[in-house]
Amino acid sequence: MSTLPAHDLKDRRSPDFPSAALPLLQDVQLRSNVRHATGVIQGKRARVVGEMPDWQALRDAGQRIRAHTLEYLDFYLEQFEQRCSAAGGHVHWARDGAEANRIVLALAQNSTRRVIEIKSMTTEETGLNRALEAAGISPVETDLAELIVQLGHDKPSHIVVPALHKNRQQVRELFARTMNLPDLGERPEDLAEAARLHLRRQFLSTPVAISGANFLIAETGGVCIVESEGNGRMCLTLPRRLISVAGIDKIIPRFQDLEVMLQVLPRSATGERMNPYNSVWTGVHSGDGPEEFHVVLLDNRRTEVLRDAEARETLHCIRCGACQNACPVYRQTGGHAYGSVYAGPIGAILTPQLAMMESGQSLPYASSLCGACYEVCPVKINIPEILIHLRGRVVTGRPNALRAFHPEAVVMRAMQWIFSNSTRFSVAQRAGRIAQRPWIRRSGWIEHLPSVLGGWTRTRDLRPLPPQSFREWFQARNHASTSSPKSSEAPHD
Amino acid sequence: MRVLERLGHTIDFPYAQTCCGQMHYNTGYQPEALPLVRRFIELFRDSEVVCVPSSSCVTMMREHYEKIALASGDKTLQSEVATLLPRVYEFTELLVHRLGVEEVGAVYPHRVTYHSSCHSLRNLHLGDIPIRLLRNVREIELIPMEAADLCCGFGGTFSIKNPDVSGAMLEEKLQYIQKTQAEVCTACDNSCLMHIGGAMHRQRGNMHTEHIATILASDTVSRIPSNGTR
Amino acid sequence: MTDATLHGPLSARSEILARIRSANREVFGADRDLTPDESWRTIPRAYRHNSPLTDAGRIQLITERLIEYGAGVYPCRSAQVADNVAEILRSRRKQNILVSSDVDPNWLPHEGPTYVYDHALSYSEIEACDGVLTGCTVAIATTGTLALCHTSAGSRRALSLLPDYHLCVVDAATIVETVPEGFHALEPHRLQPITLISGPSATADIEMTRIQGVHGPRVLDCVIVV
């Protein structure tokens, strides 16, 4: 059962961010749940980060490790391939999601009708589950939240906590029905136990597992998986064949570099000093774990992101989700408004780039540029700067005819023309003062504006331009012999 | 202005000034900001110190003017930007960091709460400078705001392009502001205050907004009425 | 697929590597000044590496962390380990214990539990045990982490994964404070499978309530040999 959101920005006919956000904003319960969930994790993050006197040094190291890796990416990928192969692993390369899915299918198809999976954003990105189902193979989700969503034939309501929309009674009812446990208790412990037993049967009897990867280690050819529940360890150890799908941006140079990543990732992602389980393995270990191991290295436009000098640090991302939890926009809308596997601030910059800026063009504008994301990013991705840069690409990327006559572009050019000359500016101010008169209500404020400016007055009043601008006041004062300064606000914001 | 003159400084206001270019630059019209950068340099290059009562404008200058000058290929512009920028200060920064004063002779007998605008907090790193200035205002009652660093939702053109999300963010911010039961909400940026104040006025409550300069300007000689009338 | 197809000029591999090289050339210019190794060495590492704590301080810190996770912690001297193990297993009512090959035979009480060693056990045989007893290669105090390095000769990963109870004996001499110190100690083992355990498994997916132990051992006890 695929977990991609219904609203998919890769489809150009899909609604843009403001339209997708509106119904979500009206869901008061979901908004409150999102606020609560992100608030809890943010509080925990603040505590465990506050304990670290060397947090900024870790961020600096994290940023430089990632930047360095991308600069030598070809070298490190080749090294990883060589070392992993020498250890008995098979390394495959996929130009795009469809190719990755074909490779995985070929590895799974004749061996099994069922695969067990650890949640991976990369396989969601490629739509792997849909491809498996189309080929008659059932993917079994083993993360508890994903399991709940899958058994309920449901859709995840939230990227951080996908089963946020289900309370324990609903989960109990679901498990009792699908696992045939009529006497199942209602406490969270009972539900966890039911999931444990149900999934254990799957872990022990399914020959093929599919995972993502948190880090690929070039120096050793190893892979690192970071998790909390233990389903990762199960999938990585018990089946005969393991397939890990990883973006080419997952690679780090050396084993030692984990000492930085495993400090910043858990603290940023779940607000823990360390997550419960981290697994590292290299190729095939005879007598311990899968007999066959495959890695699929995925490009899917990451090499395009590399080309943009100002935006390539988007690929530094280690998928911690801290930016989502800090974002005041995400706080109001949740993840679905972004129409992509990657949501929140990182989604706003990654999604349009992976789509070659052909879709997702509303996403770089889905931000007030408050900077909270940059503050919490463990590898110091300057998301606000990249958002501004991508806005520039959206504007210059418009087809020529549209570029000249796009209403927004016309207004922008007009304003620039006015701002370039002080006479024009004064005239414009005076004209504005006259034009606004019919809109000023008895309260002295403007309460309604037409058309696109009406966006403002939907929720706010607007203080009108003062009868005397600051420059007029200053001019008058300077030319008067006595002065009794009237106060007024500075004209520019 | 009143504050600075009270402290004994001479103010000049170049009439020809218009805009720092942030609106264009941040909306993706980066080339259109270049003429505005040139204009700013031209008007202010001979100033001893430039005072800007807006942290978002100063952010624009500090974070983007050098980049814009570099992209223009104009070496003269690049050096002029480099020479002028160190002399540009946000208003509260100017008072505390450059002039070394935290007490400006202000009197403002009202309940006031302070909103940390995003640019002042995360870009200019003003820290508690504005609070320190406010604390020294006589007769003021300063009330801390919960989630003072939560974005108000203005974000420039964001408020026009995403009015519903902007409104939702404002709604939450207002809850925190109103919880303080202050009479006045203040900040270093008129953009936030216009946004917050607009909603306050719509709700017809008892609160209104004032720029921090207005509060610091208030003194026994000419008290500024704090009922929002102009 | 033959090697030629996999590595040939039209292969995905060649195309991806070519794209990377051309992207980096565009951004950085033709030649890189430094080798990967030289460049890697310029990465600033001003974060904490060493520990100012004493041995006793480290033991205290890891004890605190493990207790926070809900693990049982039992410090004792080397001569007392076997007795302690016996007592712990008795109180936990664990009879049939899987023993990993990194366990010192002196730690095993002569009477009480039955010991099972991994001679190509099946998964059901592993599951039939009440619990597993392992050693630990290095322990990291600041994060409460036990690092197990596995070998297929008697300490494979499934042994510490399938049973519901895990008793880990930690030599205090292997306890370090910081994560970098931990990775330094793990460096010789970097090609082995490694499992870092920092508390029993957990999830907060049901009504945001943290539940411990979904998969993997739900109960963890530690004997710290001082």
DSSP B57-113: HHHHHHHHHHHHHHHHT-HHHHHHHHHHGGGEEEHHHIIIIIS--S----B--SEEE
Per DSSP, what are the bridge partners of residue B210?
B186
> Are both B210 and B121 inside the same structural domain?
yes
Q: What architecture is domain A55-302?
A: 3-Layer(aba) Sandwich (3.40)
Grade residue A11 by pLDDT with cuts at 50, 70 and 90: low
Stated as kind and residue range, the H or E segment containing B207 is: none
C86 phi/psi in degrees, rounded to 5 = -60, -50
Chain A closest-CA separation from residue C28 CA (Å): 8
Question: Which stretches does DSSP call E strand in B97-159?
Answer: 111-114, 141-143
The answer to whether position B227 is within a domain reads no
Query: CATH 3.40.50.10420 occupies which residues in chain A?
Result: 55-302
Grade residue A488 by pLDDT with cuts at 50, 70 and 90: very low
Q: Is A54 on the interface with C (CB under 8 A)?
A: yes
Chain A closest-CA separation from residue B171 CA (Å): 9
* Nearest residue of chain A to residue B28 (CA atoms): A392
Q: Cβ distance B51 to B188 under 8 Å?
A: no
Separation between Cα atoms, residue A329 and residue A344, nearest integer Å: 8
**Which ipTM score applies to this complex?**
0.95
Model pLDDT for residues A129-169, shown as the tens digit of each residue: 999 999 999 999 998 888 888 888 866 655 556 665 667 78
- CA B192 vs CA A239, A368, A370, B189: distances in Å: 57, 11, 12, 6
Stated as kind and residue range, the H or E segment containing C11 is: none
Query: Half-sphere exposure of B168 toward its Cβ, with a 13 Å CA cutoff?
Result: 23
In this prediction, the residues of chain B whose per-residue pLDDT falls under 70 are 221-230
Alpha-carbon Rg for chain C, nearest whole angstrom, is 23
Grade residue A388 by pLDDT with cuts at 50, 70 and 90: very high
Separation between Cα atoms, residue C146 and residue C217, nearest integer Å: 14
Three-class SS of residue C138? strand
Whether residues A493 and B197 touch (CB distance < 8 A) is answered with: no
pLDDT, average across residues C180-197:
98
Specify the pLDDT at position A442. 73
Instruction: For chain C, report the end-to-end CA distance as a whole number of angstroms.
Output: 57
The position carrying tokens 């208003």 is B91
pLDDT, average across residues A186-195:
86
Q: Please, what sign has the CA dihedral across residues A260, A266, A272, A274?
A: negative
* Structural domain ending residue among the three candidates B97, B130, B147: B97
HEC string of chain A? CCCCCCCCCCCCCCCCHHHHHHHHHCCHHHHHHHHHHHHHHHHHHHHHHHCCCCHHHHHHHHHHHHHHHHHCHHHHHHHHHHHHHHCCEEEEEECCHHHHHHHHHHHHCCCCCEEEECCCHHHHHHCHHHHHHHCCCEEEECCHHHHHHHHCCCCCCCCCCCCCCCCHHHHHHHHHHHCCCCCCCCCHHHHHHHHHHHHHHHHHHCCEEEECCCEEECCCCEEEEEECCCHHHHHHHCCCEEEEEEEHHHEECCHHHHHHHHHHHHHHHCCCCCCCEEEEEECCCCCCCCCEEEEEEECCCHHHHHHCCCCHHHHHCCCCCHHHHHCCCHHHHCCHHHCCCCCHHHHHHHHHHHCCCCCCCCHHHCCCCCCHHHHHCCCCCCHHHHHHHHHHHHHHCCCHHHHHHCHHHHHHHHHHHHHCCHHHHHHHHHHHHHHCHHHECCCCCECCCCHHHHHHHHHCCECCCCCCCHHHHHHHHHHCCCCCCCCCCCCCC
Residue A491 scores a pLDDT above 50: no
Whether residues C23 and A74 touch (CB distance < 8 A) is answered with: no
> Are both B81 and B35 inside the same structural domain?
yes
Interface contacts A/C by beta carbons within 8 Å: 249
Q: Given B36, B154, B162, which is nearest A416 (Cβ)?
A: B36
Q: Is B1 on the interface with A (CB under 8 A)?
A: yes
> How remote is the C-alpha of C114 from its chain's centroid?
25
Specify the pLDDT at position B157. 87
Q: Residues 6 or more apart from B10 whose CB is under 8 A from it? A: none
- B211: CATH: 3.40.50
Specify the pLDDT at position A29. 78
> Are both B87 and B174 inside the same structural domain?
no
Model pLDDT for residues C160-185, shown as the tens digit of each residue: 999 999 999 999 999 999 999 999 99
Domain residue ranges of chain C, discontinuous segments joined by +: 3-40, 55-225
Portion 42-81 of C in contact with A at CB < 8 A: 42-48, 65
B155 phi/psi in degrees, rounded to 5 = 60, 30
Q: Cβ distance B21 to B37 under 8 Å?
A: yes
Model pLDDT for residues A257-294, shown as the tens digit of each residue: 999 999 999 999 989 999 999 999 999 999 999 999 99
Q: Given B28, B33, B54, which is nearest A395 (Cβ)?
A: B28
Tokens standing for B209? 């907004």
The answer to whether position B222 is within a domain reads no
For residue C32, with 0-12 CB atoms within 10 Å meaning exposed, 13-18 middle and 19 or more buried, which class applies?
A: middle
Separation between Cα atoms, residue B130 and residue B193, nearest integer Å: 15
Residue C142 scores a pLDDT above 70: yes
Chain A residues near residue C140 by CB distance under 8 angstroms: 274
Q: Please provide the DSSP assignment of C85-127 as one string.
A: HHHHHHHTT--EEEE-TTS-GGGS-SSSSEEEE-SS--HHHHH
Specify the pLDDT at position C1. 45
Chain A residues near residue B162 by CB distance under 8 angstroms: 17-18, 21, 329, 365-366
Query: Which range is least confidently modeled, A65-69, A235-239, A355-359, C114-118?
Result: A355-359
* Nearest residue of chain A to residue B117 (CA atoms): A370
Q: Given C13, C27, C65, which is nearest A312 (Cβ)?
A: C27
Grade residue C6 by pLDDT with cuts at 50, 70 and 90: low
Three-class SS of residue C223? strand
Tokens standing for A116? 């067990």
Tokens standing for A365? 């504008």
Query: b/e per residue, C75-95, with b = 16+ CB within 10 A?
Result: bbeeeebbebbbebbeeeebe
The residue ranking higher by pLDDT, A467 or A115, is A115
Whether residues A328 and B162 touch (CB distance < 8 A) is answered with: no
A106: nearest Cα among A132, A127, A85, A126: A132
> Are both B139 and B78 inside the same structural domain?
no
Tokens standing for B91? 């208003």
Tokens standing for C119? 């001679």
Separation between Cα atoms, residue A137 and residue A459, nearest integer Å: 51
Q: Please, what sign has the CA dihedral across residues C4, C5, C11, C12?
A: negative
Portion 316-375 of A in contact with C at CB < 8 A: none
Separation between Cα atoms, residue A212 and residue A210, nearest integer Å: 7
Three-class SS of residue C134? strand
> Are both B90 and B120 inside the same structural domain?
no
Query: Which range is least confidently modeled, A176-185, A363-372, A473-482, C32-41?
Result: A473-482
Our count of domains for chain B comes to 2
* Domain hosting residue B213, numbered range: 111-217
pTM: 0.90
Separation between Cα atoms, residue A334 and residue A349, nearest integer Å: 16
Tokens standing for A278? 């981290």
- The topology (CATH level 3) of C55-225 is Rossmann fold (3.40.50)
pLDDT, average across residues A236-242:
97
Separation between Cα atoms, residue A488 and residue A476, nearest integer Å: 13
> Are both B202 and B146 inside the same structural domain?
yes
Separation between Cα atoms, residue A159 and residue A22, nearest integer Å: 18
Separation between Cα atoms, residue A110 and residue A208, nearest integer Å: 11
Residue A32 scores a pLDDT above 70: yes
CB atoms < 10 A from the CB of A104, how many? Answer: 26
B23: nearest Cα among B159, B223, B137: B159
The overall longest dimension of chain B from CA atoms, in Å, is: 53
Q: Cβ distance A272 to A229 under 8 Å?
A: no
Specify the pLDDT at position A485. 38
Whether residues A289 and C19 touch (CB distance < 8 A) is answered with: no
Mean pLDDT for chain C? 91
Q: Please provide the DSSP assignment of B13-67 as one string.
A: --TT----SHHHHHHT-HHHHHHHHHHHHHHHTT-S-EEES-HHHHHHHHHHHHH
Specify the pLDDT at position B228. 44
The answer to whether position B35 is within a domain reads yes
B43: nearest Cα among B8, B9, B17, B25: B17
Provide the residue type at A320 as one letter. C
Residue C28 scores a pLDDT above 60: yes
Query: Which range is least confidently modeled, A118-122, A489-493, B179-183?
Result: A489-493
Mean pLDDT for chain A? 86
Is chain C adjacent to chain B, meaning 3+ CB pairs within 8 angstroms?
Answer: no
B223 secondary structure, DSSP code: P
Whether residues A493 and B56 touch (CB distance < 8 A) is answered with: yes
Instruction: For chain B, report the end-to-end CA distance as a whole number of angstroms.
Output: 18
A464: nearest Cα among B200, B230, B193, B155: B230
Q: Cβ distance C126 to C159 under 8 Å?
A: yes
Residue A401 scores a pLDDT above 90: no
Interface partners of chain B (CB pairs < 8 Å, 3 or more) are: A
Separation between Cα atoms, residue B201 and residue B209, nearest integer Å: 10
Alpha-carbon Rg for chain B, nearest whole angstrom, is 18
Stated as kind and residue range, the H or E segment containing B186 is: strand B184-187
Per DSSP, what are the bridge partners of residue C139?
C146, C175
Provide the residue type at A43 as one letter. G
Whether residues C12 and A228 touch (CB distance < 8 A) is answered with: no
Chain A residues near residue C17 by CB distance under 8 angstroms: 74, 77-78
Which range has highest mean pLDDT (A417-431, A443-457, C2-16, C70-84)?
Answer: C70-84
Residue A400 scores a pLDDT above 90: no
The residue ranking higher by pLDDT, A470 or A311, is A311
Stated as kind and residue range, the H or E segment containing B4 is: helix B2-6
Q: Cβ distance C147 to C196 under 8 Å?
A: yes
Specify the pLDDT at position A451. 64
Provide the residue type at A330 as one letter. Y
Q: Given B27, B35, B201, which is nearest A461 (Cβ)?
A: B201
Portion 76-95 of B in contact with A at CB < 8 A: none
Query: Which range is least confidently modeled, B14-23, B209-218, C60-69, C131-140?
Result: B14-23
Interface contacts A/B by beta carbons within 8 Å: 199
Specify the pLDDT at position B128. 92
> Are both B150 and B56 inside the same structural domain?
no
Interface partners of chain C (CB pairs < 8 Å, 3 or more) are: A
The answer to whether position B103 is within a domain reads no
